[in-house]
Amino acid sequence: MALRGALQSQAGLLSLLLLGLGDKDPAVRRSASFAVGNAAYQAGPLGPALAAAVPCMTQLLGDPQAGIRRNAVSALGNLGSEGLGEELLQCQVPQRLLEMACGDPQPHVKEAALIALRSLGQEPCIHQVLVSLGASEKLALLSLGNQLLPHNSPRPASAKHCRKLIHLLRPAHST
């Protein structure tokens, strides 16, 4: 609540956060991406103002710092519920998140991408794109790879999110 109020009362604060997303300092990018993600989670009437964050956050998906990539992924997942589906599609967010879910070298980034895809997949336009990308098949291969781990290895939490996302993308759940 306090963050939403601060952002609404201080129009410049959101602009500063957006500038922080492109800062040279990784600590500033990490903090700004985290703050924008929280703002998106609690946005309410602020949602449309966050549309400007979509291209910046999409660029951060390629950041060399795993923590920044994770924050950007989570923020983009939060932005889906703010009616920003068109902006997300223009920046090819579903495609990028699917690539990250299947191929990011950091397990916590993969898991965040799967969670974001589960959230975004609730939006009909994004659901349709994920189906057209063959997301279920790609996720099934990822899930199969998780099952082939040795028995004494812990199963990644991403396996649960894979199963739930595959279930969400089944035709019976199409909108």
111-162 confidence digits (pLDDT tens)? 999 999 999 998 999 999 999 999 988 888 877 765 555 544 444 667 778 8
- In Å, what is the CA distance from 52 to each residue of 19, 57, 60, 142, 166? 11, 9, 14, 32, 30
Q: Which CATH class for the 2-173 domain?
A: mainly alpha
Mean of pLDDT over the chain: 84
Q: What's the pLDDT at 83? A: 79
User: How do residues 84-109 score in pLDDT, each as one tens digit?
Assistant: 889 999 999 999 999 999 999 999 99
